[in-house]
Structure 1
């Protein structure tokens, strides 16, 4: 079935005429098809086939970028504001149907209990490195670290203003996209109300959490129940991953309590998006877009950032993405916010993103390590380079 779908997709895309040499519409859709599960491939192929012209294909790409990829990656205070509508048939009905479910927004009120359950389940250890929480019971000579509860489906995708029709609409559009391309979410009846559940979190070293949250570190299934291979990419920060197992294999198990282990289907969705971001070069593109927006609060000085892309993110809803072990850390972050400013493009009131624990020197290093789109596409395609750092 997959081969016939690919043939149908190629037949449609082979007639696509790029607007300019940098137009990657065809590559984007081909790469996205590669990483999707079988039922997601079917839906994408139908979407592409249903596009009446090249402009509709470009609109489809923008709807996936602004209504799925950017919301998933834009953690640390940014949430999508403008989402390009999908040209696929019936999408408006799907949005209205999801809104009719009256899904409630999630909050931080249950975070302390969720962390406690995660620590108990995971034995007070990081599931990637095996390091122990420095604040909880551990062997005398154990290596310890700061542990955080990392959400697989980001917390920001479940937090919205229930009394604001725009945020409710935005929330529905994102989840319609997610459920359309990853139908497993429908099959397991997973909605944003379940983001704060044990099956959607894993306890990770704080620095590993950052890499996981930015899709620079993923857990790929091995065929053995709850065993995963940790995969990193050329732009992964090298310091935190030095303590990963040499064979990159980890096995999850319940140490104590009756809490669910991280759900394999949710981890598969996270891995699919991580692989696509790097295979397609979108990781570098979106990181640059978010950095430009964060630095300038609007258009990049060079004018190189497209208005529709910049309007896809906003720091109106400052939602911290890290569920730390210390609840008070959120309060201290709130106090560090700078005065708000206004976006000259949209006229929206903007607040800068939350202050995280990464030093300025670390942030500077991370920006320098980002590959170009061409490098990202080439190096992500070769297995022998996927776990190696970029050359300095």
Structure 2
């Protein structure tokens, strides 16, 4: 889920335009200083009077559930099963850029949010920071806040939807699962390899180092390690498929 969706040539201009609108709506909702990190957007200097911030930098519109899910119905279906209620209509191409699916973040904090190192819990319309890893593995911007600190979104405009409690809690729950299952280092390595390949920096046989095929081989290895040498091959195949699903 971490990589951002890369538009095809036919939908690139539309995706870019929607992303700009998405970011502008987040500014309208939360102002020009990020709620998380207290970074002033570079293009908004000087800041409005009374604004508190620690540094200047570019702010990005971060999707709580990644843009790529809008083009993957199976992923939306899986997220609905995981959530216990349908989220498919919230994540379509027309809805994925709704501000209820967005946060304003600096690039570094955006990156670790996509890697599920922290999340936002929303209960009774109260948003709390949940750090999923030690401070040393987080950004200095995020470490300006204490774990469980309460955030106030929508202070500038109540006309723009605040982050969806459902989507925030789904993102956080996925983060907990990845942390407790200890599989995220493997997934992170695979995603890093794919980014290298997309950038043209990976040589040799792509199948051997990246993508779903690499993940499948790793999962087969994990499955095999949990069985004796005489394990039924059909049962092993079923286990791998269950893990991948």
* Residue 114 (structure 1) aligns with: 22
Show the counterpart of 2:59.
Answer: 147
Residue 308 of structure 1: aligned partner: 213
Task: Show CA shifts across 1:256-279 (max 9, x none).
Answer: 251100000000111011111111
Tell me the alpha carbon deviations over residues 277-319 of structure 1, each in whole angstroms, 9 at most, x when there is no partner. Answer: 1111121010122234436367589x6879723589xxxxxxx
Q: Give, in whole Å, the separation in 1 of the partners of 2:76 and 2:51.
A: 45
Q: Superposed, which structure 2 residues align to 1:1-392 within 5 Å? A: 72-75=1-4, 107-136=15-44, 137-139=47-49, 142-143=52-53, 144-145=55-56, 146-158=58-70, 160=71, 171-186=72-87, 189-193=89-93, 194-221=95-122, 223-234=123-134, 236-245=137-146, 248-256=149-157, 258-293=159-194, 294=196, 296=202, 308-309=213-214
Query: Aligned to 2:128, what secondary structure does the other structure show?
Result: strand
SS of match in other structure, 1:202: strand
Q: TM-score, normalised by structure 2?
A: 0.68
Question: Could you give the per-residue CA deviations for residues 134-157 of structure 1, whole angstroms, max 9, x where no partner exists?
Answer: 322433784343211110111122
Query: Is residue 132–residue 176 contact of structure 2 (8 Å, CA) maintained in 1?
Result: no
Q: Cα RMSD (Å) of the superposition? A: 3.4
The whole-number CA distance in structure 1 between the counterparts of 2:173 and 2:191 is 21
Larger relative contact order (C-alpha < 8 A, sep ≥ 6)?
A: 1
* Equivalent residue pairs, number: 201
Gaps of 5+ in 1: 1-71, 79-105, 161-170, 313-392
Q: Evaluate the alpha carbon distance shift between residue 199 and residue 140 of structure 1 in structure 2; reply closer, same or farther with a 3 A threshold.
A: closer
Q: Indicate the larger mover: 188-197 or 262-271.
A: 188-197
1:116–1:227: structure 2 CA closer, same or farther, 3 Å change rule?
same
TM-score by length of structure 1 reads 0.44
Equivalent residue of 1:287, what SS?
helix
Q: Which runs of 5+ in 2 are unaligned?
A: 8-13, 218-245
